[in-house]
């Protein structure tokens, strides 16, 4: 028996938030096409576009009003019927729009090429999508800043190569996560501030059709480009284009989204590692099931999901890079299907990732007793450098002292690997004559084994993060429930 269900998009059905899903929906996209046609007609009217007789206005206020009233009145079934016949999506929408605006039918898309609506709409969608992501990044930074301050002084074992290294603090480690997302915030903000509009450029970017409409008046053609762009919310315009705006712009924007994926995968991977060590757990709900077979399990499924989505997003950037690289002359159509898939998926995926990151950051569970026991178990090894320097200051031979420490350390490590839970390295060293003059208690008390980690937390947050949170206060204190 065949299922009546069709494949759905998990990013829409399970992962992305309602605002981002709505932004990339058909009604959102195609109503923007119509808004662009309205903006074009308005601008041509305002610039005094004349009919062929040279004296009669080519466009009337009545026609523009009819277009405005029907922006959201889209008959998608009728669009599909036209496209089946015409095999051209833009023409299908022009015909459908014209049918509900009969008085304005002949001025829709006047002088424009398909990319006037398709390209400009993509730029609008991406700019609005970047703003949604920008808001989420502020919310995430707010949560990470609060977490970092709360645990700024809680010493924990630091790792290099996932091997015990020196102590850091839980708050300092969280600042590493926050710093990555802070870089993403600045990159996304830069992309928003510097986005350019394609504007009204014509078939190959020469504006020849508009120059013809305005009877060779170059200034009016320049003004048309500016006026349409401003009406659609853009102050910056690509000075030159082919039929399309430079696909390099897509690549740069999706690379910024890829950066969010990179940061999130690092964050999620660290949480998964710390969850394995039982030091920090992601949120786990009272009725949540970790495994269908092993009832005791508390899998870090949010972090795992975030890492999986991040991997998908990171690789989407390669699509936009290659599309930018293979454009032929003024344009080629092989970019179209790829962009239909890649651009919405990238924004939906980035939104889903940040929602997960916010959800995880808001509910992180720190287990101080386990962290403390791990510190106590490994701290003697980390104290050996301080002990060595203290012994040298008392007249000891540095190389001999190093050898004593090496032998005892390896012996203790062997015993720990054999099941011993006690690290007796300090007791062993106290018995060695080379360390007889060293005040072990003073060395351990004065050691400051986590260095300036606690101070670095406040310095970083005060100088780098707090100004962003203050400037965007309305976007802080966000919550993001996950669907499944």
Active-site positions? 161, 291
Distances in Å between the alpha carbon of 80 and those of 28, 75, 92, 263, 417?
A: 17, 9, 7, 41, 69
Tokens of 180: 């990555």
3-state SS, one letter per residue, for 437-449: CCCHHHHHHHCCC
Torsion over CA of 196, 216, 42 and 239, rounded to 10 degrees? 0
Q: Which helix (H) or strand (E) element contains residue 64? A: helix 61-69
Burial level of 424, CB count in 10 A (0-12/13-18/19+)? Answer: middle
Instruction: Name residue, tokens 């690289």.
Output: 325
Instruction: Name residue, tokens 């046609």.
Output: 37
Q: From CA 483, how far away is CA 82, in angstroms rounded?
A: 37
- Which residue(s) pair with 237 in the sheet? 197
Instruction: Name residue, tokens 């993001």.
Output: 480
For residue 88, count other CB atoms closer than 10 A to its CB. 13
Do 311 and 261 contact (CB within 8 A), yes or no?
A: yes
Q: Which residues contact 372 (CB under 8 A, 6 or more apart)?
A: none
Give the CA radius of gyration of the chain.
Answer: 31
Do 97 and 162 contact (CB within 8 A), yes or no?
A: no
Q: What is the DSSP string of 209-240?
A: HHHHHTTT-HHHHHHHHHHHHHHTT-S-B-S-
Q: Which helix (H) or strand (E) element contains residue 280? A: strand 280-281
3-state SS, one letter per residue, for 396-417: CCHHHHHHHHHHHHHHHHHHHH
């Amino acid at each position: 028996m065949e299922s009546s269900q069709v494949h759905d998009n998990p990013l829409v059905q399970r992962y992305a938030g309602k605002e981002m899903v709505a932004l990339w929906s058909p009604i959102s996209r195609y109503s923007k096409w119509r808004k662009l046609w309205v903006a074009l007609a308005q601008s041509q009217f305002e610039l005094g576009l004349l009919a062929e007789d040279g004296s009669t206005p080519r466009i009337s206020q009545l026609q523009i009003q009819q277009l405005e009233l029907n922006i959201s009145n889209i008959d998608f079934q009728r669009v599909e019927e036209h496209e089946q016949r015409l095999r051209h999506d833009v023409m299908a929408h022009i015909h459908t729009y014209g049918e509900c605006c009969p008085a304005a039918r002949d001025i829709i898309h006047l002088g424009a090429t398909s990319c006037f609506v398709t390209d400009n709409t993509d730029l609008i969608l991406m700019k609005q999508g970047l703003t949604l992501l920008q808001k989420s990044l502020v919310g995430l930074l707010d949560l990470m800043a609060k977490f970092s301050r709360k645990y700024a002084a809680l010493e924990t074992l630091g790792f290099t190569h996932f091997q015990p290294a020196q102590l850091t603090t839980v708050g300092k480690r969280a600042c590493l996560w926050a710093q990555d997302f802070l870089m993403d915030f600045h990159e996304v903000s830069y992309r928003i501030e510097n986005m350019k509009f394609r504007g009204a450029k014509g078939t190959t970017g020469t504006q020849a059709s508009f120059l013809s409409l305005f009877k060779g008046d170059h200034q009016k053609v320049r003004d048309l480009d500016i006026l349409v762009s401003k009406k659609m919310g853009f102050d910056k315009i690509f000075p030159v284009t082919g039929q399309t705006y430079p696909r390099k712009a897509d690549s740069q924007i999706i690379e910024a989204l890829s950066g969010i994926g990179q940061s999130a995968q690092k964050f999620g991977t660290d949480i998964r590692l710390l969850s394995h060590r039982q030091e920090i757990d992601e949120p786990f709900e009272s009725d949540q099931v970790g495994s269908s077979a092993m009832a005791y399990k508390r899998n870090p499924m949010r972090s795992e999901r975030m890492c999986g989505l991040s991997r998908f997003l990171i690789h989407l950037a390669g699509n936009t890079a290659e599309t930018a690289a293979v454009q032929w002359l003024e344009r080629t159509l092989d970019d179209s299907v790829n962009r239909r898939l890649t651009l919405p998926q990238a924004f939906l995926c980035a939104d889903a990732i940040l929602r997960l990151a916010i959800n995880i950051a808001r509910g992180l569970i720190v287990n101080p007793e386990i962290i403390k026991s791990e510190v106590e178990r490994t701290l003697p090894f980390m104290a050996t450098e301080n002990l060595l320097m203290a012994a040298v200051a008392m007249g000891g031979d540095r190389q001999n002292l190093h050898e004593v420490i090496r032998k005892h350390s390896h012996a203790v490590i062997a015993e720990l690997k054999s099941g011993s839970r006690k690290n007796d390295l300090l007791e062993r060293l106290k018995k060695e004559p080379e360390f007889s003059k060293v005040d072990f208690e003073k060395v351990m008390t004065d050691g400051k084994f986590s260095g300036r980690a606690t101070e670095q937390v406040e310095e970083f947050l005060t100088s780098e993060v707090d100004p962003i949170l203050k400037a965007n206060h309305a976007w802080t204190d966000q919550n993001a429930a996950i669907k499944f």
